[in-house]
Amino acid sequence: MRNILSIFIFMSILTQVYSNKIEVTANSVTASNSNKEVRFVGNVLIKQDSKNWIRANEAIVYFDDQNQTKLYEAKGNASFEISDKKSHYKGRSNIMKHWPEESKYQLSGNATTDDLINKRHLSGDLINVDMKSGNASVKSQTGKPVKFIFNIDKKGKN
């Protein structure tokens, strides 16, 4: 009963962080009051709306001392779509981290993402995306080259 109550409290807090409802589905869930985290395992889907979602084998939601969501961590075949008024990204990686207060994302391990608004493709070992500024960086940790692919609009000749 205590675990169910903890999960309910954590999910209520999770919903308060965003103006919209957050829905999390998984095969199992466990909450740890001492670690201030909720762990979802198996077929995890974290969904805010049709354009803001994360899928993974496992996800952990971490809370700060005020019980506010400080970090989402999705592990194992993480895929996502995230958007706001200025940005829209879709991609995948082995591990994805999201800091909701800062609107920052970090993708690591076979990371790829597509900037759907600016029509850019990024791939590398480590990708950082800042939704507030629109900035992104790509790094290689294995010596493989990083890729940045973008379209060039051809203008008609006058």
What is the predicted pLDDT for the residue at 106? 94
What is the predicted pLDDT for the residue at 134? 73
Q: Is residue 75 part of a domain?
A: yes
What is the predicted pLDDT for the residue at 133? 81
How many alpha carbons lie under 13 Å from residue 88 in its C-beta half-sphere?
7
Q: Is residue 158 part of a domain?
A: no
Residue span of the structural domain in which 22 resides? 2-150
137: Cβ contacts below 8 Å, ≥ 6 apart: 127, 128
Q: Report residues of the chain scoring pLDDT below 50.
A: 1-19, 157-158
What is the predicted pLDDT for the residue at 113? 87
Counting the structural domains of the chain, the total is: 1
**CATH number of the domain that 136 lies in?**
2.60.450.10
Q: Hey, how many other C-beta atoms are within 10 angstroms of the C-beta on 50?
A: 8
Residue/partner pairs of 9-14 with CB below 8 Å, 24 or more apart:
9/67, 10/38, 10/61, 10/63, 10/67, 11/38, 13/63, 13/67, 13/68, 13/69, 14/61, 14/69
Q: Is residue 157 part of a domain?
A: no
Q: Is residue 23 part of a domain?
A: yes
Q: Is residue 156 part of a domain?
A: no
What is the predicted pLDDT for the residue at 75? 96
Q: Is residue 119 part of a domain?
A: yes
Distance CA 24, CA 43 (A): 10
| Lookup: tokens for 68 | 């506010």
Q: Is residue 15 part of a domain?
A: yes
| Lookup: tokens for 141 | 């940790």
What is the predicted pLDDT for the residue at 18? 42
Q: Is residue 155 part of a domain?
A: no
